Amino acid sequence: MSDNTNAAAPAASEQDAIVQTQDGSEAAASDSGQLAAVVGDTSASEQGDGDDYAPWGENWRQDLTGGDEASLKLAQRYTSPRAVWQKLLAQEQVIRRGAHKAPTELPANATPEQIAEYRKAVGVPETPDGYEIKFAPELGAGETEQSLVKSFAQFAHEQNVPAQHTKKLFDWYQQELMRTRQEEQSTRQRQIARNDADLQKEWGADYSRNARILGEWMETHPSLAQAIKTYAHDKGVLAEAVELALELADPESLIGGEPGLGGKSMEDRIDELSGKYGKRTPAEEKEYDRLLEARIKRNEGGGRRNRAA
């Protein structure tokens, strides 16, 4: 009897030493509890780690990821298929609660911390300068336009407008501004052309001379020239500029052949206009007066030169 008992003892001991896994493989019982031994908690050896991934087997990560390297690296973070499932359930709960979504609006009387969190979530920069918006070089933005950019960025930041939306709004404004300027320039050029045709008809033979004298006068008065160019679309301003240039012109510039006058001198023109007494147009009356004044200035200048001699 005792012999049978003694014979059975080694079998029981051997059974304890061999653990039959669910996938048919055998593992030494002594392997169980190695991790617990490392961390100093031998009680964990009772549960073992084989059951966590059975019946997947030790290569469950490769089977789960299908050999994808990136997915496999991520799977290495989980200790078992059960841990992956628990993570999936947790994420599902987060999605159902909507906790994964960025806040859609700030609460009333939001704290600085809430404002900072909201701005970070929706893409609002920390400061207005973070929008990084500026006018295109072809617009030639000056100080006024640059001040407008800063004001716009400041307002967008106060209203917590995301950077991508702010850029789209500013780009739209730039395009509209450029389109408006192009239309204004086209309208201006057409008006200048009409003014030129009207004055050519009004001045007649004096058109070339008047244009020449105005050009010479503008070359010597750059500041006034810029103002004339700015308002060149205004026919009245252009006509007054010509009158001023003629009044201030050197008398010698009114003397000599003019292509529009058929080579006539100032005296010839005076005689011609004098013969049209009572029939001169308003423009010819002004021209006649200017020519007489120019002749007086010329004669006075000649008298002074003779006395000096």
pLDDT digits (tens, 9 = 90+) for 244-274: 888 777 665 665 444 444 445 667 778 888 8
Environment class of 172 (CB within 10 Å of its CB; exposed 0-12, middle 13-18, buried 19+): exposed
pLDDT of residue 267: 76
Residue owning tokens 């970070």: 120
- 43 Cβ neighbours under 8 A, 6+ residues apart: 36
Structure confidence by residue, pLDDT tens digits, 30-56: 455 555 555 554 444 333 344 455 677
Note the pLDDT of residue 53: 57
Give how far Cα 239 sits from Cα of 105, 163, 256, Å. 61, 51, 23
- Check residue 106 and give its pLDDT: 79
Element (DSSP H or E) covering residue 190? helix 163-203
| 235 Cβ neighbours under 8 A, 6+ residues apart | 195, 198, 199
Output 299 or 226, whichever has higher pLDDT: 226
The string of DSSP codes covering 147-182 is HHHHHHHHHHHHTT--HHHHHHHHHHHHHHHHHHHH
Q: Indicate yes or no: pTM above 0.75.
A: no
- Residue-by-residue DSSP string for 17-61: HEEE-TTS-EEEGGGTTHHHHHHT-GGGGGT-SHHHHTTT-TTHH
Q: Are 218 and 228 in contact (CB under 8 A)?
A: yes
